[in-house]
Structure 1
Amino acid sequence: MLRMNDGRDIPALGYGTYQIPDAQAGIIVRRAIDAGYALVDTAAIYGNERGVGDAVKGEDVFVTTKLWNDRHGDAAAALDESLALLGLDAVDLYLIHWPVPEAGGFVDAWNALIDLRAAGKARSIGVSNFLPEHIEAIVEATGVTPAVNQIELHPHFQQREARAFHAEHGIVTQSWSPLGQGDLLADPAIVAIAERHHASAAQVVLAWHLAHDLSAIPKAADEAHMRDNRRATDVALEAHDIEAIDALDREDGRIGPNPRTFGM
């Protein structure tokens, strides 16, 4: 568990549901919960909140959902819609999905999330894909610091400046796409560490996130991969392992959209 700046705890390792169809989400997310995941991450734009809600019903699971870009001026109604689909009275964490800075609505959206937390519909509030400049803008306007910033983060794109900013402000850094893409899991450094620890490459990468006090939300539709990822908590990396993975950072490592321009 990681402590957020609002005094609540968030599981360090969660389960992401991006691109899981609503019709299959109930079964797949239920398997993730049975495998030991205590955090499930969804979003309005994923279109699978109803299925996720079916899976978490009656379970003691930390649920995150997100406000999409076209609802910055209508966050209260958007969250009500998400809660209805999820079958919940409140979510554990509600995030602004992207800042869309040129649209100019993310500060108003943050004000709305503050009100939603006060109303008890979101126990914690945060942001996703925000750069330090965007966080500074909402804190200056409201005096309220996000509990979490969920950003693309993996060994090829380590976001060190953002992580340092988050640490300075007590913000939990949560990694989306924590396993990266392409050849990352075949990288010789990762493979060598995995062999030494009798672990999979994915477990080693997730253990690296956990060693840096990051929250990670890998997605896996296959039950074997799901359980394999969950066992990353059993992998204890040594300092030289972490340093070897730290050295894999690349200037061209981003695989997702740029928060400065996405959504314009």
Structure 2
Amino acid sequence: MTTVPSLQLNDGNSIPQLGYGVFKVPPADTERAVSEALEVGYRHIDTAAIYGNEEGVGAAIAASGLSRDELFITTKLWNDRHDGDEPRAALGESLEKLGLDAVDLYLVHWPTPARDNYVHAWTKLIELRDAGLSRSIGVSNHLVPHLERIVAETGVVPAVDQIELHPAHQQRAVTEWAAARGVAIEAWGPLGQGKYDLFGTAPVTAASVAHGKTPAQVVIRWHLQKGFVLFPKSVRIERLRENLDVFDFTLTDAELAAIDSLDQPDGSGRVSSDPNEVN
């Protein structure tokens, strides 16, 4: 079975670098998909309250026979649960659905800047971590101004920032800020969600031919060598295996640089929502 490397987080915990995400996996399919992911070797599962499929993740965990310490489970606080003591209630609901006493990572899903309550949400996540309900805490879709503010007002640096990241949208302002502070970057939509012809670009095609790997495997390898955690999504077991078969080759510095050059620094490569506009 493939052994996925782990990265050490800034709080001393470790995280498997390649995981399985269940964004847009229908609730009815989630138990099967996660069970298959665990069967082929994934141990890091990323879900969220808003996905509506935490119960399926929990059922797959319960049926897997794996010990709790073999797994890394992430879920997220949705935008309408930031105020008051709602984060604690929300995490309690997620834990019940997952069948767990604690998650390994709990994230503020979006900063929702127009609501101006993401600092409060972050303060509550610190309390939840201290209460042992999540081993690590972090954020998702937070840009540099959001990150700077939560650190300035609480003194606590997130362990993780999970952001849209793929070759056309590399978010270097965020990744450089994070690297300077030991914040792990998790890439969602790491293959561009099929919304542009990433696999047909010259750098990806050339590396695919050179290494005898699929374009998807090349892009996954690019993320790994950049030091990102990522969650390529599939509900097909053959693709799950393919996405995990990326540890027997290494991209050259020239190949990495060529894929780096696909970035659209003006933000035009974004394929999903702007974090400043999600509220």
Is the shorter-chain TM-score for this pair beyond 0.5, marking a shared fold?
yes
The reply on whether 1:227 has 2:241 as its aligned counterpart is yes
Match in the other structure for 2:20: 15
Match in the other structure for 1:203: 217
Match in the other structure for 1:48: 53
Deviations along 1:185-236, one digit per CA (max 9) or x if unpaired, are: 1222211111110101001001000111111111111111111111123231
Unaligned runs of 5+ in 2: 1-5
2:8 maps to which of 3, 11, 25? 3
1:1-264 aligned at under 5 Å gives the runs 1-57=6-62, 58-59=65-66, 60-73=70-83, 74-180=86-192, 181=194, 182-250=196-264, 251=266, 252-263=268-279
Looking at structure 2, the residues matched to 148 and 179 of structure 1 have their Cα atoms a distance apart, in angstroms, of 20
1:253 counterpart letter in structure 2: G
2:203 counterpart letter in structure 1: A
Looking at structure 2, the residues matched to 233 and 86 of structure 1 have their Cα atoms a distance apart, in angstroms, of 30
1:137 counterpart letter in structure 2: R
Looking at structure 1, the residues matched to 235 and 205 of structure 2 have their Cα atoms a distance apart, in angstroms, of 23
* TM-score of the two chains, using structure 2 as the length reference: 0.92
Question: Number of aligned pairs?
Answer: 263
Deviations along 1:32-80, one digit per CA (max 9) or x if unpaired, are: 1111112100000000000001112243210000000000011000000
Looking at structure 1, the residues matched to 73 and 247 of structure 2 have their Cα atoms a distance apart, in angstroms, of 20
Looking at structure 2, the residues matched to 56 and 247 of structure 1 have their Cα atoms a distance apart, in angstroms, of 40
Give the secondary-structure state (helix, strand or coil) at the position aligned to 1:2.
strand
Give the secondary-structure state (helix, strand or coil) at the position aligned to 2:168.
coil
1:131 counterpart letter in structure 2: L
Looking at structure 1, the residues matched to 257 and 125 of structure 2 have their Cα atoms a distance apart, in angstroms, of 38
Looking at structure 1, the residues matched to 93 and 259 of structure 2 have their Cα atoms a distance apart, in angstroms, of 41
1:234 counterpart letter in structure 2: D
1:206 counterpart letter in structure 2: I
Looking at structure 2, the residues matched to 101 and 13 of structure 1 have their Cα atoms a distance apart, in angstroms, of 30
Looking at structure 2, the residues matched to 81 and 153 of structure 1 have their Cα atoms a distance apart, in angstroms, of 29
Give the secondary-structure state (helix, strand or coil) at the position aligned to 1:56.
helix
